[in-house]
Structure 1
Amino acid sequence: MDSSPTPALTALAQGDAAPQHGPRPLPLFLNILWRETECDPELRRRAFAGLRKYQEARRSPSASSAKCVATAGTARLLRYGAVNYRFPVVFIPSLINPPQVLDLSESRSLLRHMGAAGHEAYLVDWGTPTVQDATLGLDGHVTERLLPMLSTLSRPPILVGYCLGGSLALAAAALQSFPAVSTIAAPWKFDCFAKADLDLIGGLWESAKSMCESIGYVPMEVLQSGFWAMDPARTIRKYADFADLAVESDEERAFLAVEDWANGGAPLTFAAGRDLFEQFYAANASGNDQWRINGRTISPSDLECPSLSIVSIGDRIVPAAAGPRLREKWSLSLGHVGMVVGGRAREMLWEPLSVWLSSHGG
């Protein structure tokens, strides 16, 4: 069999887009586009132009100097910055979409900023689950993936979790002692989500559960369809606006990087998906102090270490009110993704968080 790369793979290696480059799942995106633009032919034209531009745009590879220092199952712990006398700081991304949102590009990287600021910073990469991981729930991601990797560090680290990664960071801090913990846009009180969103997510899981159980994982497309359904008009408008951005501009590169991240990522294990949809969204187990791991209740109010919850009033994915109640709280006015990679992220999140970490030994 000829093992030489196909032209499409060669193009990708050189930084070009694939012939068909998302968004995933494309049939659903096209259905939303057609429905949302039914009464606006000009918006439809611009949205299709943006879609074509997105699919054909050249991508510039973003090289990272991160070094893998530990593994647990398919997960890896990547180091940014030099080992120093401070407490290490471990950033924990969501299980949904790739971890690269915290290291998106040379100019939009929370991790590179922290390394340059002198922090011994690390990033968790959850990897791609195998067939054998189907029964690995959210609890297992903490006890069998996260905690074993953290134990390899020379000192207990400060934990910083983004989105669902923040929920997992709180679980880790409840099970073991850490110097401090911070969450960014972390969902905790699921009864604070809009009822329409909870109903939408519940219906999505009801229709997908049987299929997911049979294959042992929850495809990224299932989760993506839920995010799109929360705000379909915005999903289409941003592609229409993208059509008007100057080629090779910073704004165009930022859009490509964020959308490629949002349309990528490994599936969830079936057990983790079931925990997320049934324990969290449906039963509000975390918000009701009913989430238990190894017989221990995971409750932020029991944490003895310094803790900080960072939320955003502009977050459409995780409402600000749904964040955990910790000792300190910062409220921003950015979106769920914009708060970590947007044009104002450096001044509003990266720099203040760096100071907070330093004040607690990080």
Structure 2
Amino acid sequence: MNNSPPDGRSAFAPNFAALQHRPRPLPLFLSLLQRETAANPAAMQRALAGLRKYQEAARPPPPAPMPAIAEARGAMLRGYGGDGPTVLFVPSLINPPSVLDLPGRSLLRWLAGQGRRVQLLDWGWPDAARSGLSVAGHVEEILLPLIRGLDAPPDLVGYCLGGTMAIAAAALAPVRSLATIAAPWHFAGFPEEARTALAQLWAQSRLTAETLGVLPMEALQSAFWGLDPARTIAKFADFATLEGEAASSFVTLEDWANDGPPLAVAAAREMFEDLFADDRTGRGAWRVAGMRIDPAAIAAPMLTIVSAGDRIVPQASAPRVGERIEVAQGHVGMVVGSRGKAVLWAPLAAWLDRHDAEPPTRRRG
């Protein structure tokens, strides 16, 4: 089954609409811009100038995705080469996985050169057959079968919601080690206003999602913007004066943020109702494949990477197990920012190296 976007471009960089329609949804962005700059006409002009510059920026053709080496329910396991132990990266269901493989700032390609056989789970695009897969269902029917199809247990690395899902997988399948990057587990650790806003968003979007079978990416984008509306506008005002590599980097990251897939309705329902509202993971009540998931019961070595500057996944929501690395960069900056290699890539590689000699472990109980 082909879950690629209908225009045939890379699953990492689909062409949803003409560039002048970005950022998505543009009407909401313009409303936000007007509200945030109403008392400052000069700031409004700078932000609008940055918006126009972003829309008109030259963009190189997107790179083709790496070859698929396995498939499950339309999701692909993509190989990045390299020798040595397999490390499998699990990205979020939200936004494309290409944030781990941006040109010139690819954590995956760098790690493949450090003595690792690197693989990436590309979730693809949810079709009608996957609309009924919850977050747990994605673990059960996609992630676990792919892990079990490998020649040997992998090191598992999960980013954002992918880290939450990787914890469940590590509790249910043998892994060499588990590392999470900016992954939420204690959803009660999110600010109450953020949880309230997300509950309102779901209440407004639920009927649409249930009718379409997916929650459109635009609805999720509005939630992200709502976490820090002032910064959302200010970065476009700042972009108006950026040049060179800094400007190119801004365009690349904004395009990534605006090219996300929709979320299967069952996954959206579980995320909003069971995770954000009910904090089932943090309360020890989340079940995957019939098993209650307890990170503390995972026998494999564990690493938790968090950021004090993360506005998307606050560090208070992180799992409280294993070793811990704290960085100062933001949710995306820690992975692709100018200091990403020093503060995250190299420490992650060093931690994986320390556990090479340890045998793979199975879940307890």
Q: Which amino acid aligns with 2:192?
A: K
Take 1:209 and 1:65, find their aligned partners in 2: how far apart are those partners?
A: 32
Aligned length: 344
Larger CA deviation: 196-205 vs 54-63: 54-63
In the alignment, is residue 286 of structure 1 matched against residue 281 of structure 2?
Answer: yes
- Residue 168 of structure 2: aligned partner: 171
User: 1:48–1:41: structure 2 CA closer, same or farther, 3 Å change rule?
Assistant: same
Answering whether residue 307 of structure 2 is matched by residue 312 of structure 1, we say: yes
Range with bigger deviation, 120-129 or 350-359:
350-359
Indicate the larger mover: 250-259 or 150-159: 150-159
Contact 1:80–1:122 (CA<8 Å) still a contact in 2?
A: yes
Residue 321 of structure 1 is aligned with which of 316, 322, 330? 316
Determine the structure 2 residue equivalent to 1:61.
Answer: 61
CA offsets, 1:268-309, max 9 Å, x none? 100000000000000000000000012211110110010000
Could you report, residue by residue, the CA deviation over 1:180-200 in whole angstroms, capped at 9, with x for unpaired residues?
000000010011111111111
- SS at 1:272 equivalent: helix
Q: Which runs of 5+ in 1 are unaligned?
A: 1-8
Give the letter for the 2:167 counterpart. L
Which position in structure 2 is the counterpart of 1:87? Answer: 85
Q: Which residue of 1 aligns with 2:135?
A: 138
2:249 is matched with 254
Contact kept, 8 Å, 2:90 with 2:162, in 1: the verdict is yes
- Residue in structure 1 matching 2:329, options 322, 329, 334: 334
Q: Which residue does the alignment assign to 2:122?
A: 125
Shift of the alpha carbon at 1:67? 2.2
Q: Secondary structure of 2:320's partner? A: coil
CA distance, structure 2, for counterparts of residue 360 and residue 331 of structure 1:
20
- Percent identity over the alignment is 49
Deviation per CA, 1:173-214: give whole Å up to 9, x if none: 011121100000001001111111111111111111111111
SS at match of 2:95: coil
Matching residue of 2:363:
none
**Aligned partner (choices 99, 103, 106) of residue 109 of structure 1:** 106
**Partners of 1:21 and 1:54 within 8 A in 2:** no
CA contact (8 A) 1:182 1:308 kept: yes
Contact 2:147 2:173 in 1 (8 A): no
Counterparts of 1:21 and 1:56, CA distance in 2: 11
Deviations 1:108-154 (A, max 9, x none): 11111111212101111000010121111111111111111222221
**Aligned AA (1:235):** T
Matching residue's letter, 1:163: C
Q: Is the 2:179–2:302 contact (alpha carbons within 8 Å) kept by the matching residues of 1?
A: yes
Partner of 2:226: 229
Provide the residue aligned with 2:149 in structure 1: 152
With normalisation by structure 2, the TM-score equals 0.91
Q: Which of 208, 212, 231 does residue 215 from structure 1 map onto?
A: 212
- What is the match of residue 296 of structure 2? 301
Cα deviation code 1:238-291 (max 9, x no counterpart): 000001011xx1111110111001011111100000000000000000000000
The match for 2:5 is none
Q: What is the DSSP-based 3-state SS (H/G/I as helix, E as strand, rest coil) of the residue aligned with 1:20?
A: helix
Distance (whole Å) between structure 2 residues aligned to residue 231 and residue 243 of structure 1 = 20
Runs of 4 or more above 3 Å deviation: none
Distance in 2, Cα, partners of 1:29 & 1:173: 39
Q: Structure 1 residues 65 and 119, CA, compared in 2 at 3 Å: closer, same or farther?
A: farther
SS in 1 for 2:45: helix
Letter in 2 for 1:115: A
C-alpha distance in 1 between matches for 2:291 and 2:176: 20
Deviations 1:84-129 (A, max 9, x none): 3x32000110000000000011x21111111121210111100001
**Residue 65 and residue 140 in structure 1: after superposition, are their counterparts in 2 closer, same or farther (change >3 A)?**
closer
Residue 62 (structure 1) shift:
4.5
Structure 2 unaligned regions, length at least 5: 1-8, 358-365
Contact 1:21 1:56 in 2 (8 A): no
Q: Which amino acid aligns with 1:245?
A: L
* CA distance in 1 between partners of 2:140 and 2:177 (Å): 19
Q: Match for residue 3 of structure 2? A: none
Question: What's the CA shift for 1:66?
Answer: 2.5
Q: CA deviation at 1:21?
A: 4.6
Which amino acid in structure 1 is aligned with residue 122 of structure 2? D
Is 1:272 the equivalent of 2:270? no
* Distance in 1 (alpha carbons) for counterparts of 2:288 and 2:151: 25
- Give yes or no for contact 1:147–1:172 (8 Å, CA) kept in 2: yes
- Contact kept in structure 2, 1:161 and 1:168, CA below 8 Å: yes
| 1:187 aligned to which of 178, 184, 187 | 184
1:358 maps onto 2:356 in alignment = no
Which residue is 2:203 aligned to?
206
**In 2, distance between residues paired with 1:65 and 1:99?**
10
**Cα distance in 2, alignment partners of residues 214 and 62 from structure 1:** 32
8 Å contact from structure 2 (residues 148, 173) kept in 1: no
